[in-house]
Amino acid sequence: MIFFESVDKFYGSHRCLTRITAHVAKGEVVVICGPSGSGKTTLIRTVNGLEPIRSGRIVVNGQDVHAPKADINRLRREIGFVFQQFNLFPHMTVLDNVSLAPRKLRGLPREQAEEEARALLARVGLAEKANVYPGQLSGGQSQRVAIARALAMSPPVILFDEPTSALDPEMVGEVLAVMRDLAGSGITMVCVTHEMGFAREVADRVWFMDSGVILEDASPEEFFVAPRHPRARRFLADLRHA
Amino acid sequence: MLDILREYWLLFLVGQYPNGPLGGLVATLLVAICGLGLALPCAMAIALGRISPYMPVRIAAAFVVHTVRGTPFLMVIFWSYFGLPILLGRPINGFVTLVGALVLYESAYLAEAIRAGIEALPRGQREAARALGLNYWQTMGLVILPQALFNALPSLLTQFVSLIKETSLGYVISVNEFTFAAAQVNNQLLTKPVQVFSILALTFFAVCFTLTQTARRLERIVARRRNGMAKDGEPTALLATEPTP
Ligand SMILES: Nc1ncnc2c1ncn2[C@@H]1O[C@H](COP(=O)(O)OP(=O)(O)O)[C@@H](O)[C@H]1O
Ligand SMILES: [Mg+2]
């Protein structure tokens, strides 16, 4: 579903991704973890072209995202993206946030788009919030709306960048519950997170990144029980003590 | 002063109309509204130009803004008055000249207010819209500009108030507006310039003050609706840019 082929990315002269080669199969759930600044955000942002790359190829759903003649806007409809900071549109109601893309990009009539949006909101447990503005939501609710918005175009792939890091601890659970539910639905999912319980439970594979390199690509059992790389071992130990 | 008003209120309000051209306060407001109505879209275009991904567009937009900001409005009026007929090859009336000059002048200032509004938005707004698959223009039109214009409302309003005041410079090219009407009244009375021009000043003040207050209230209502937490809301993001000198 997603292929990285020797991807290099620089910020100025700072090399931020080094020869990333990896593969996410259809329906797979991949959790990316690693220390801060290791390039996790950058990596998943290259998947939908929010960040350009220096060289290499990223193929999503059979299409080269960074090809010069790629229709990036069309490709992005197939890739849901959930941000750490939610980034809901504050000037629109929750319902409009979720139904915007279907109306503008799939040309759905408002009524039908809103019906679909209500169904998605019900799925993330927020049916009753359809008509409020994002400013009135808690962090956990905001992130669940953001997930509903990312699902509105029915993308086969969804990417998460630390979806629970900006939340108060008591709200992490409700967002993870939605993601767990989603993981079981057959969608291909790539998720940057430090929620190791979640990774253990739902991930098919765990990627450990450090300094712009994927140091380890393992099943959760392998990764959590016997991480091969010393830096992965230290990372896990630090997480446990935190 | 009241007796002057009682005698000449119609002249103050609409000028010679219907026996002559429309003038007075109504003409002033008409010029201001036309000016704002046409300047706003131009300003949005210039603002987008200022932050365009294409360098030549950025340079062109910056050139317009800096040139206009370095020119006194009176100069713009003279240039429009003498230049436009030569450029168009036919005479144009004072009303159009004044509106044209206002649009040119105000577009540049409004554009800077809008640009500040755009740049104050978190980068995530644009990224979230693009990540959904919206293109550049959809992103600007549906997500960025509606928020930027709202955030820029206070400075846009300050600018509209200066625009109303600037119409009075139409006097120098004999546009029949409010100041012109006051001058006519003064010419008929001859002995009461202070009273006549006080009426002018007070009316300008009343109009501009009402406008500012109304917009402040509107802004609060919208801010409160969007943000349930801000109860007695000073709107959260007030952007001030320098008003026209
Ligand atoms: N816009 C940027 N400009 C310059 N350097 C950046 C930028 N974004 C990220 N970086 C750098 O790239 C590296 C990887 O960042 P990031 O992908 O955000 O890491 P992570 O998400 O794993 O914490 C860091 O060293 C960071 O300082
Ligand atoms: Mg990050």
| Segment A188-217, tens digit of pLDDT | 999 999 999 999 999 999 999 999 999 999
Please give the CATH topology (third level) of the domain spanning B2-231.
MetI-like fold (1.10.3720)
Q: Which of A207-216, A225-234, B82-91, B110-119 has the lowest mean pLDDT?
A: B82-91
Question: What is each CA distance from B139 to A62, A148, B50, B129, B132, in whole angstroms?
Answer: 26, 19, 17, 6, 10
Backbone φ and ψ of A4, nearest 5°: -105, 125
How many whole angstroms from B184 Cα to the centroid of ligand 2? 69
Residue A159's beta-bridge partner residues? A81, A190
Q: Could you list which residues have their CB under 5 Å from ion ligand 2?
A: A 41
Query: Which residues of chain B are within 8 Å of residue A48 when distances are taken between CB atoms?
Result: 131
Position B232 pLDDT exceeds 50: no
Position B241 pLDDT exceeds 50: no
Q: Angle at CA B15, nearest 5°, toward B14 and B17? A: 75
Query: What's the sign of the alpha-carbon dihedral A133, A135, A138, A140?
Result: positive
Compute the distance between CA of residue B155 and CA of residue A59 in angstroms, rounded to an integer: 46
Compute the distance between CA of residue A205 and CA of residue B63 in angstroms, rounded to an integer: 54
Q: Which residue of B has its CA nearest to A99?
A: B132
Indicate the pLDDT class of residue B234, thresholds 50, 70 and 90: very low
Position A43 pLDDT exceeds 50: yes
Q: Whose CA is nearest to atom 5 of ligand 1?
A: A11
pLDDT tens, residue by residue, A99-157: 999 999 999 999 999 999 999 999 999 999 999 999 999 999 999 999 999 999 999 99
Can you give the pLDDT at residue B228?
A: 58
Question: Which atom from ligand 1 is nearest to the alpha carbon of A42?
Answer: 17
Q: What is the ipTM of this complex?
A: 0.93
Q: Angle at CA B213, nearest 5°, toward B65 and B149? A: 40
List residues near ligand 1 (CB under 6 A).
Answer: A 11, 14, 16, 34, 36-42
pLDDT tens, residue by residue, B118-155: 999 999 999 999 999 999 999 999 999 999 998 888 88
Shortest CA distance to A146 belongs to which of A73, A59, A80? A80
Q: Which two three-digit tokens encode residue A100?
A: 């915007």
Pairing label, strands A205-210, A29-33: parallel
Query: What's the sign of the alpha-carbon dihedral A161, B133, A120, A114?
Result: positive
Question: What is each CA distance from B200 to B9, B169, B178, B187, in whole angstroms?
Answer: 11, 13, 8, 14
Query: Can you say whether residue B165 is alpha, beta or left, with left for phi > 0 and alpha for psi between -120 and 50 degrees?
Result: alpha
Which of A39-63 are b and which e, b meaning 16 or more Cβ less than 10 Å from the residue's Cβ?
A: bbbbbbbbbbbbbebeebebbbeee
- The verdict on a CB contact (< 8 Å) between B133 and A101 is yes
What is the 8-class DSSP label of residue A34?
Answer: -
State whether residue A165 sits within 8 Å of chain B by CB: no
Query: What's the sign of the alpha-carbon dihedral B4, B10, B14, B18?
Result: negative
Residue B211 near residue B160, CB atoms below 8 Å: yes
Choose the closest CB to A83 out of B128, B135, B147.
Answer: B128
Question: Which atom from ligand 1 is nearest to the alpha carbon of A212?
Answer: 14
Best residue for ligand 1 mutational test, from A20, A42, A213 (most atoms within 8 Å of Cβ)? A42
Compute the distance between CA of residue B16 and CA of residue B87 in angstroms, rounded to an integer: 31
- The verdict on a CB contact (< 8 Å) between B133 and A81 is no
Choose the closest CB to B127 out of A87, A101, A150.
Answer: A87
State whether residue B237 sits within 8 Å of chain A by CB: no
Rg (CA), chain A: 18
- What is the model's pTM? 0.86
Pairing label, strands A157-161, A29-33: unpaired
